[in-house]
Amino acid sequence: MPGPLPPLSHDAKRAVVLLSGGLDSATVLAMANAEGYATHCLSFAYGQRQAIELDNAAEVARALGAVEQRVIHVDLAAFGGSALTASLAVPKDRATDAMQHGVPITYVPARNTIFLSLALAYAEVLGAFDLFIGANAVDFSGYPDCRPEFIAAFEQLANVATGAAQSGRGHFRVHAPLLRMSKAEIIQAGVALGVDYGITHSCYDPEGQLACGHCDACILRREGFRAARVADPTRYVQKEGAA
């Protein structure tokens, strides 16, 4: 059971922000803060091979002044079926256009549905009606649960699924501000809001805190910094990976 909530200033509204520790969700947290929300971050230990990202999530929450950050354990690895949770190989050195076709093996079945469901439960306990998620339909068009139709369907579900909505106390909104932004646009927006991307983690297959430089997430991230004309602060395993 959570302890008492920190007091809020007069008209701040609470929001639940899904925070992975990656570049996208860090930017979303900064955006929610900038909109004046008191931000409660939710991160998940779900059996991901890149569990190091949880350290980044805690650091990002602190650096950006979130009200709190919680880590929820939910064992998606028990199901298997994804390169991110099972002993399947993470694809390397794919061209960005090859990432656009089909559902990638790094897709974790129903992951965003599960994460938003848990965010919804937390929002209901907090009395919050705003959920923020860093879903992006441009770079990750192969992930079914990063599309606008998915966000809309979840918002509709939230408003029939909960006691808070049923009792008329409010209307849930799922904010996905990155949905139609390119990686470069996301980085530029985050830099303008003071996000330090050096403390974020994107790599699917890291060695400690070092990024592999060759998985889809590393390639999209590096291309994003290049296109945004922002120096890439990522620490890669190999020098040539950071070129």
Q: Is 92 helix (H, G, I), strand (E, B) or coil?
A: strand
CB of 173 to a second copy, least distance (A): 16
Side-chain-side CA neighbours of residue 161 (13 Å): 16
Between 156 and 209, name the residue whose CB sits nearer to a second copy: 156
CB of 226 to a second copy, least distance (A): 30
Between 106 and 200, name the residue whose CB sits nearer to a second copy: 106
CB of 101 to a second copy, least distance (A): 11
Both tokens of 229, joined, read 């004309």
Between 118 and 242, name the residue whose CB sits nearer to a second copy: 118
Between 5 and 184, name the residue whose CB sits nearer to a second copy: 5
How far apart are the C-alpha atoms of 229 and 222, rounded to whole Å?
A: 11
Count CB-CB contacts under 10 A for residue 105.
Answer: 16
Q: Give Cα 110 to chain centroid, integer Å.
A: 14
- Check: CB of residue 6 under 8 Å from CB of residue 14: no
Strand order in the sheet with 130-132: 37-45, 13-18, 130-132, 173-175
CB of 77 to a second copy, least distance (A): 7
- Check: CB of residue 68 under 8 Å from CB of residue 6: yes
CB of 147 to a second copy, least distance (A): 7
Between 136 and 200, name the residue whose CB sits nearer to a second copy: 136
Binding site for a second copy (CB under 8 A): 1-2, 70, 72-81, 86-87, 102-103, 107-114, 117-118, 120-122, 124-125, 144-145, 147, 149-150, 153-154, 156-158, 160-163, 165-167
